[in-house]
Amino acid sequence: MWRVFPSDGSTDSPGMRVSLPLPCDAAKDALSSYDGIALSLGESGAENLGLCQSLVRGVRRAPIVPTMIAFMDNTRLSAAITLSVWKALFLREAISRVSGARAAWLWLLLEPIAHLTILMIIFSTIRKRIMPGFEFVLFLAIGLLGYNLFRNSAMRSMAAISANRALFAYRQVKPVDVVLVRAFLEGVIQLLVGLVMLTGMSLAGFDVLPRDPLTVLSVFALFWLFGTGMGLMLSVGSTLIPEIGKVTNLVFIPLYFLSGVLFSPAMLPPGLREWLLLNPLMQGLEVMRHAFSSEYHVVAGIDIYYLTAFAFASLLLGLALHVRLAARLVMQ
């Protein structure tokens, strides 16, 4: 960027701004109204002096004065800064999660597998009574993967601000950045865990290919969005009011049993079923199970748009809270 002043030497006038490089004719037209010019350029623009002089050939020139504020070719856009921050935070979180303890990466896979194995041992005697025509192992695996995706995204995002408070000394890092990056990492981890589990079940002889893969991926994404939205809201609440974090830990215990991870709503009395179907997690799990097998019976009232509404509403509300309370979150 070049700033052009009148030839009387006065720099009080804002002058003209001409972006380089420009075609010679365009530059001459831009400067033709000046009887003489003084060009203000940064130190890094000194090598372009010959180009500048050729552009204004035929016009009486005044002395060229260097300045530090005119030439800004290395200015970074805010979007590029944000992407750089997210990349750095993602690498930091990934390394911390995978190498934070001995064989941490192995426990990421063994934990859900051990959970599924224990449940299979407990429910093996009533498998045929619960899920006729549908693999009970797959039934449990879908419930565990969907619920764990939501829970881990919400719970780990809730603690993101307190765990990364030292990074807020850098003005480029905002509280919402650490929450979103941690939620994204959790989504990637749960996706890899799910693929490993389903691959292992397929090698063991179970039919795990979904009838409607697009619906399965859509519900998976909605679970992640719902967990991210809850994480955004809970991160604000637990930072400003620490007791919210303690209450949330307690709430997730009964939520596991009320979300249809271990049972189907079809097994429940109609009155109780109507109340439990108000839980969007149960509806999402039922939609995902039906997408795996058309033989799975889905009760009336199951709708993927119900989970969609909760997911986007929580996400927008969480983002709004972070925008409104960003200063307090940093200073807390």
- Beta strands 16-18; 60-61: pairing state: unpaired
User: Does residue 43 register a pLDDT over 80?
Assistant: no
CB atoms within 10 A of CB 105: 13
The stretch 6-21 carries a mean pLDDT of: 44
d(CA 317, CA 310): 10
- Adjacent-strand bridge partners of 266: none
pLDDT reported for residue 81:
84
| Between 297 and 2, residue with greater pLDDT | 297
For residue 76, the model assigns a pLDDT of 56
Average model confidence (pLDDT) across the chain:
77
Q: What pTM, to 2 d.p., does this model score?
A: 0.73
pLDDT of residue 293: 84
Q: What pLDDT is stored for residue 146 in this prediction?
A: 93
For residue range 222-280, list pLDDT tens digits in order. Answer: 999 999 999 999 999 999 998 998 999 999 999 999 998 888 888 888 888 889 999 99
SS3 category, 170? coil
Q: Tokens 């889905």 correspond to what residue? A: 298
Residue/partner pairs of 321-326 with CB below 8 Å, 24 or more apart = 321/232, 321/233, 321/236, 322/174, 322/175, 322/176, 322/179, 322/232, 322/235, 322/236, 323/176, 325/236, 325/240, 326/174, 326/175, 326/176
Would you state the structure tokens that stand for residue 126, as one six-digit string? 């009533």
Q: Which residues of 173-192 are buried (b: 16+ CB within 10 A; e: fewer)?
A: bbbbbbbbbbbbbbbebbbe
User: Average pLDDT for residues 117-144, to the nearest whole number?
Assistant: 73
| Percent over 90 (pLDDT), the chain | 37
132 pLDDT tier (thresholds 50, 70, 90):
low
If one compares 41 and 96, the residue with the highest pLDDT of the two is 96
Q: What is the mean pLDDT of residues 313-317?
A: 96
The pLDDT value given to residue 22: 40
Residue 203 has pLDDT above 50, yes or no: yes
CA dihedral 123, 128, 132, 133 (to 10 degrees): 90
What is the band of 299 on the pLDDT scale with cuts at 50, 70, 90?
confident
Whether 6 has a pLDDT exceeding 80, the answer reads no
Assess contact for 275 and 258: CB atoms under 8 A.
no
Q: Is residue 234 within 8 Å of 317, Cβ to Cβ? A: no
| Per-residue pLDDT, 148 | 92
Q: Predicted confidence band at 83 (pLDDT cuts at 50, 70, 90)?
A: confident
Taking CA atoms, 160 is separated from 148, 179, 183, 211, in Å, by 18, 5, 9, 37
**Cα distances (angstroms) measured from residue 35 to each of 38, 60, 106, 300:** 11, 7, 75, 82
Query: For 169, which DSSP code?
Result: G
Question: How much is the average pLDDT of 286-296?
Answer: 88
CA dihedral 225, 229, 230, 234 (to 10 degrees): 150
